[in-house]
Amino acid sequence: MTFIDYSNEEKSSATKEEKDTTSSKLPEDASKWGYDMYPDRKGASSKSEKPSRSVTDYLTGRGRDHLDKIRCERNVYKCVKESPLVKLMMGALKSSGCGIDIRRHIACEECASNVSGGYDPIMNQVIVCHNTVKSEGMVQGVLTHELIHMFDYCQNDLDFKNLEHLACTEIRAANLGHCSFMSAWINGDASIFNIKEMHQNCVKSKALSSVMAARSGISKMEAINAIEKVFPKCYPDLEPIGRRLRRNSYDMYKAYEEGYYYGYDIP
Ligand SMILES: [Zn+2]
């Protein structure tokens, strides 16, 4: 059972190929950033073996996908080095005994066109979809969201098969990630009450779409009921970021600074 945000479809239909044709003949730039950046994913489970592209593919028009992957890995690397939010999440994970190695725990993969990322609790791995997530800012958003799932899985007894558990972690991810960035762009005429309501609505609707996509078998009403039931408990839970990022881009830097006070081991 693999839990993937927004969709539980197989992410890629690419065929498996011989690996010995790939690494040695890549362009210099590709071997620096490319195929072997996440070597541990290969063979960790034969079923989820990562599809790799051959040089032939690269030369015959599948290079677009190859370049997407390289760009994705560059963006991941940049976020891990520079993004206060991603660094905060990585520090919080490490302090919780779930330290992450980007080669092992983050992978750029081709996904269905409506999917931006996912968290696979079996592999304990975050997936960034290199064909749909193309900017550094979007990669930061996906990483923050998925690392919150990883954090919840590490810290709490989280069972992704339990609908209320799933609803709770999706509420937290929407709250601390996506909807905080949304509200950071709202300014001027929105009153503080409007913002509060808009933010809660944003969290509920984002969580709903994530829950619906991760569970193909449930009705919208079941998903809404689960979200409403756990919302009072899960919405105020701001760990490990500690604050919603509101109308002030410095908030993410404050959260990062405050990480030290929580005792997180921030890189
Ligand atoms: Zn999610």
pLDDT of 253 higher than 80: no
- The arithmetic mean of pLDDT across residues 26-47, rounded, is 32
The pTM of this model reads 0.70
Kindly indicate the confidence band of residue 33, based on its pLDDT and cuts at 50, 70 and 90: very low
Kindly indicate the confidence band of residue 267, based on its pLDDT and cuts at 50, 70 and 90: low
Ligand 1 center from residue 129 Cα (angstroms): 14
Instruction: Give the pair of three-digit tokens for residue 78.
Output: 């940049």
pLDDT for res 71:
95
Mean residue pLDDT of the chain comes to 73
Within 110-216, strands assigned E span 117-120, 125-129
- The arithmetic mean of pLDDT across residues 117-126, rounded, is 91
Kindly indicate the confidence band of residue 64, based on its pLDDT and cuts at 50, 70 and 90: confident
For residue 127, what are the β-bridge partners? 107, 118
pLDDT of 57 higher than 70: no
Ligand 1 center from residue 132 Cα (angstroms): 16
Report the distance separating Cα 224 and Cα 79, nearest Å: 33
Instruction: Give the pair of three-digit tokens for residue 223.
Output: 């998903």
pLDDT for res 264:
56
Ligand 1 center from residue 185 Cα (angstroms): 22
- Whether the Cβ atoms of residue 252 and residue 184 lie closer than 8 Å to each other: no
Write the DSSP symbol of residue 16: P
Ligand 1 center from residue 21 Cα (angstroms): 36
* Cα atoms in the 13 Å half-sphere on the side-chain side of 20: 0
pLDDT for res 197:
82
Kindly indicate the confidence band of residue 132, based on its pLDDT and cuts at 50, 70 and 90: very high
* Cα atoms in the 13 Å half-sphere on the side-chain side of 174: 26
Report the distance separating Cα 201 and Cα 185, nearest Å: 16
Ligand 1 center from residue 148 Cα (angstroms): 8
Active site residues: 146
Distances (CA, A) of 165 to 71, 156, 172: 34, 10, 11
204-231 burial, b if ≥16 CB within 10 A, otherwise e? bebbbebbbbbbeeeeeeebbebbeebb
- Which of 4-18, 20-34, 194-208, 218-232 has maximum average pLDDT? 218-232
- Give the number of residues written for the chain: 267
Mind listing the pLDDT tens digit for each residue in 200-229? 999 999 999 999 988 878 899 999 999 999
